Structure 1
Amino acid sequence: MRAIVYTSNGPSDVMRLEERPIPEPAAGEVRVRVAVSAVNPTDWKNRAGSGAGGAVEGQSPNQDGAGVVDAVGPGVTTVVPGDRVWLFLAAYQRPSGTAQEYTVVPASRVVKLPDGVSFDVGASLGVPAMTAHRALTVHDGGPSRLAPGALSGRTVLVAGGAGAVGHAAIQLAHWAGATVITTVSSPAKAALAASAGADVIVDYRTEDAAARIRSAAPEGVDLVVEVSPARNAELNAAVLANHGTVAVYATDGGSTMSLDVRTHFALNVRYQFLLLYTMGPDALSAAAEDLTAALADGALPVGADAGLPLTRFPLEETAAAHDAVEHSVVGKVLIDVASL
């Protein structure tokens, strides 16, 4: 089979296209023929040696993907050969990323795609959608699961609504019934956020963001899905409701932030930090189940019309795909592995 492989950390040119034997699934594992692999920031950071995933000898990159179950190991009952599926954390502490024609992963990381849901959508879930789900389910007082109506009466602020996690957070919060406010940095990104389903869109470069958010949510924001805690700490303090929560999933803008302690005392604010790799099997399972329900409802489309433009590369250009994500291309980067 064709596989992208690297044996040491470094820039994108450490990756090579190689021929490797098709792997066999062991007990509790599933072999998937990959149709589409997706690239996330965590993928190039892990390859470069600065991420949380670590390096594995003979590593195939990329955590997320979608394809068709090809074989199952002993004890696997959740999927059968022929099932269309999406994958998450395929490359976490394993050599079996999705940038190869066949990958073997634990059955717990393989989820059936509902009928009619494309491989592009499936490959675009994983890291961004599961992170967004977690961010939307850590608020003081719940909910711990998402479904239509679960966030009714809540106001959610999504920082950076044109990013992949922001896009998924807008879609999921909208599906769950929240009023969704998002911040963006340009009219083009505002159009993407509107297509994703945001109710209120604030261009923080041209508007008084705090005033605009407060006008839309006079009682304050219940939950912030935060990509840049250092940059946005002052804004969040100005717009949070009593018992508000800030769910932090990235460190864009710096890894150190300053908080006004008295303001946060008075508002009973909770800061919740989250990382997909270490949030635990129960949270991952809950996210997979709720995302499946959202998929069945048609709530997580991708593509420019849905607010998440797709940029595609063939498998042999995986290095260019990683570079595109590292250089902050807008939307989702997908790698076409096989036509299934």
Structure 2
Amino acid sequence: MSAHSLQASEPIPRYWLYGEPPAVPELRFVHIETIPERMRLHNWEVRPHRHDGLSHALLVNAGGGLLTADGTETAFRAPAFILVPAQVVHGFRFDPGTDGHVLTMSEGFLAGLLAAAPEADLRAAPALPRAWDLEEDTGEAAALARGFADIRAEFRAHHAGRASAIAAHVTLMLVAALRLGAARSAAERGVAERGRDGQGPSPDLRLLARLRPMVDEHFRDHWPMERYAAALGVTPGRLNAACRRVTGLSTLQLVHARLMLEAKRSLIYTGHGMAEIGYALGFEDPAYFSRFFSRREGRSPQAFRRSHVEDAMGAGGAGGSLDGNGLDRTGGSSPQ
């Protein structure tokens, strides 16, 4: 499907690279590039759109601009730190000459990384879009600058242990973001009360941020949508409307996307059989798990696993998603 026909069929443009048709990222896809590398191609502006399964973290070292997330505009000036979770509709307008880095990570990479984190608040850190101006020459600014520089160095060097080093640096970046948010929590609460008329996240975004960790905890239990809504203290219609406004997907589609992510991780990174994987994901009938997966992926779980094994063998053990950990396997540029 062309980008033009995609835009005609969806109210919210959905891309891989900005302006190109969507694609499915490698489960452990990570990429980092400078802001000018991409923004010079688009006159320093990216119109509102969304990605399936890709999150962004930006560190702005010079210049500034405007982040649009769920219709809320937030201005930022360097030094600034920005987080954009997967599926959130977002856009940027950078001042010409703005510099810094854009880190792009797949949901599979983040889910695997955060699953090992013992702190629940760290797992929730990337749930909301953020744009924070930083104080120059402070510990938080220095920690983030150091983290992005280390990720960039590891990404380009291809040393042994590259994937593990990048994962460790991303974890430290998320810890810095968590501490930054905690230090400003009182101010955030005051601003958030103004909702869309202020600089804080909208009620829809805050509701989605509460839903995400709940889905992570209960997607294997196959909760009905009414149970998620009740746990959040809203009606199913209110929850579904918020999900659609923020991500373009229904509540059920978001839960199914989480199930598919875990299924793909199990198929690629474990040797478990289909029945064992399905049962671990809450499917008592292996045939139903196979139908569920096939309808959404367009091929059976067995075919999906075979294709990844063949890709890894064809890559000669270098750069495939199994051996190379999916780090920018195609060498493509980072979406925004």
Do the two structures share a fold, i.e. TM-score over 0.5? Answer: no
Scaled by the length of structure 1, the TM-score of the pair is: 0.24
Larger helix share, 1 or 2: 2
